[in-house]
Amino acid sequence: MLLIAFYIAIAAEAMTAALAAGRRNMDWFGVCLIACVTALGGGTMRDVFLDHYPLVWVANPYLLLLVCGAALATIPLARLVDRLKWPFLLLDALGLVVFTIIGCNVGIDAGVHPIIVIVAGMVTGTVGGILRDVLCNDIPLIFQGELYATVSMVTGVIYFLGIHGGIQADLIAIIAAAVGFSLRVAALLFKWEMPRFVFDRQMRK
Amino acid sequence: MLLIAFYIAIAAEAMTAALAAGRRNMDWFGVCLIACVTALGGGTMRDVFLDHYPLVWVANPYLLLLVCGAALATIPLARLVDRLKWPFLLLDALGLVVFTIIGCNVGIDAGVHPIIVIVAGMVTGTVGGILRDVLCNDIPLIFQGELYATVSMVTGVIYFLGIHGGIQADLIAIIAAAVGFSLRVAALLFKWEMPRFVFDRQMRK
Amino acid sequence: MLLIAFYIAIAAEAMTAALAAGRRNMDWFGVCLIACVTALGGGTMRDVFLDHYPLVWVANPYLLLLVCGAALATIPLARLVDRLKWPFLLLDALGLVVFTIIGCNVGIDAGVHPIIVIVAGMVTGTVGGILRDVLCNDIPLIFQGELYATVSMVTGVIYFLGIHGGIQADLIAIIAAAVGFSLRVAALLFKWEMPRFVFDRQMRK
């Protein structure tokens, strides 16, 4: 079930990334590359940090075809996908919690410190979007106050504590995903935001 | 012969990267670093993805001296190098196909899936230029419609199919390089472009 | 002693990075992430290049807490930290030489070529600041003429030659750090700059 959610989330990430590329008038290759980086970049960076080889998409190259296919399919469907704002926000929230849980699992299997397990989940959930914004030459959206990384952290902590406490993996995955998903949706609905650090004085290091 | 073409292409990449750095008024260290990232970044990223150690420039550090030497030599010669636009476009096209074939060879030796062999070639051929543009704070040029990644993909597919079909490696390398090189030059001459995905509506994920 | 200097430098890097994030009005998560990338990014990239696992912060996750704690503590103290410009420039110079020496040590232990030992030191000392500027969507400050990477190179060369010449590691570390630190402070005081490569003609590769 986690696997099905994973594939759906990957495809949804690819489609929203393709829209971001389209807004910058990129060519079809750029669209595919932005989609791959967004959908697979977080897991790739996690695996490089943890020396966890082969990478997911090297072991399963059909993922690349899924991502590029979803991205290219977005081109003729752009107006439709754009109008489906809420379904995609929900799919994106699903992706965030699913990626986080998968990342935590990799960390747990690697036997790293609990802090690193949570970080592995957060990297998996959030780095793809950061890399997308860097390639599109924006200051990453995720730093602008949205409750996104926090959702990933909460999901990861619940999941890790559950596993650590001996709860069955499937059950705690569903609980952690449900809490994280609800928190993200609530943040979107009620416009909850992270506090910002606003500092204006001119000083360069 | 592939090796000689590799060294020429590395030096040419370093020189065009140095010009890009000069256009942003970078200091000499910045010039060297942009040159190293452009000339060696693609191979480095491929090796990190495939867990293929040691990296090329760690095993052969004189490559770094070649790259920095070529980059610094560009400074007094900038007006000349700038005027030699076509020779450098040809050297760049040569580099693209040579890097691609070398990348495919690494993938084949690592025994990965054919899709990943092609991707290894494309990463080797194109990532250096993407990293250069990110460090120079541009939207990567390669996403703006130039037939560049496509050339890399075509070269890689021809080379892989040839190797797979039992053709002698040297022969198929020359054939793949000739086709890729011709395609790139034709694209430059006739201004062939990738179609773009232009999407204007305001929506942020 | 190197270890104590390392912790102080890490915390100082985190605090100046937090100010950079605050100047871009990032949220608290962004502040922590920019701090982690700046303080730990150089060492992480060095370890990935040299296949040196586990990464420092994976082996010692409390480093992440130190960095995030220092970054968040900067928020209420921003005006104070900003006014302490010179102490932080000195701490930053200390960090530069300490990171460089630690990076050289990793290279020496890995048995790589002397050139790569120096490069390992330079990557450790300078990449964090480059990544910070890329994430903040600036052209990296380090390319704008400051004598920064040069200081790292000089420190690394002195340290490596000393170790190679059989001088006791602690002694040569202190000498290399003192020379590098003095050079950096002199460069700040007397506004020594790297020459720039200024090139204005329009040409795109």
Query: pLDDT-derived band of residue A200, with 50, 70 and 90 as boundaries?
Result: low
CA neighbours within 13 Å on the CB side: how many for A196?
Answer: 18
Interface of B with C in 106-125 (CB under 8 A): none
Q: Could you tell me which chain C residue has the CA closest to the CA of B29?
A: C143
Q: Is pLDDT of C133 > 90? A: no
Helix (H, G, I), strand (E, B) or coil at C11: helix
CA neighbours within 13 Å on the CB side: how many for A60?
Answer: 8
**For residue B201, what pLDDT is reported?**
57
C-alpha angle B63/B69/B74, rounded to 5°?
Answer: 130
Least confident range of B145-149, C3-7, C112-116: B145-149
**Mean confidence (pLDDT) of chain B:** 87
DSSP-assigned beta bridge partners for residue A146:
A193
Q: Is pLDDT of A70 > 80? A: yes
Average pLDDT, stretch C149-167?
A: 93
Share of chain C above pLDDT 70, in %: 94
C141 in contact with A at a CB cutoff of 8 Å?
yes
Query: pLDDT-derived band of residue A9, with 50, 70 and 90 as boundaries?
Result: confident
DSSP-assigned beta bridge partners for residue A193:
A146
Helix (H, G, I), strand (E, B) or coil at A196: strand
Q: Could you tell me which chain B residue has the CA closest to the CA of A78?
A: B199
Q: Is pLDDT of C46 > 90? A: yes
Q: Is pLDDT of C201 > 80? A: no
Residues B136-155: tens digit of each pLDDT: 776 666 667 778 888 999 99
Helix (H, G, I), strand (E, B) or coil at A64: helix
Query: pLDDT-derived band of residue C108, with 50, 70 and 90 as boundaries?
Result: very high
Helix (H, G, I), strand (E, B) or coil at A119: helix
Least confident range of B63-67, B81-85, C106-110, C115-119: B81-85
Share of chain A above pLDDT 90, in %: 50
Cα A41 from Cα A130, distance rounded (Å):
9
Report CA-CA distances (Å) from C95 to C38, C83, C171, C180, C188: 11, 20, 18, 11, 15
Q: Is pLDDT of C145 > 80? A: no
Contacts of C19 in chain A (CB under 8 A): 199, 203, 205
Report CA-CA distances (Å) from B170 to B162, B176, C188: 10, 10, 55
**Which among A194, A199, A203 has CB closest to C28?**
A194
Query: pLDDT-derived band of residue B202, with 50, 70 and 90 as boundaries?
Result: low
C-alpha angle A148/C134/A65, rounded to 5°?
Answer: 65
Q: Could you tell me which chain B residue has the CA closest to the CA of A82?
A: B203
Interface of C with A in 48-87 (CB under 8 A): 48, 53-55, 57-58, 61-62, 64-65, 74-75, 78-79, 82, 85
Q: Do residues C21 and A197 make contact, with C-beta atoms less than 8 angstroms apart?
A: yes
A116 and C92 within 8 Å at the Cβ level: the answer is no
Cα B139 from Cα B127, distance rounded (Å):
13
**For residue A205, what pLDDT is reported?**
40
Residues A127-161: tens digit of each pLDDT: 988 888 887 776 666 667 778 888 999 999 999 99
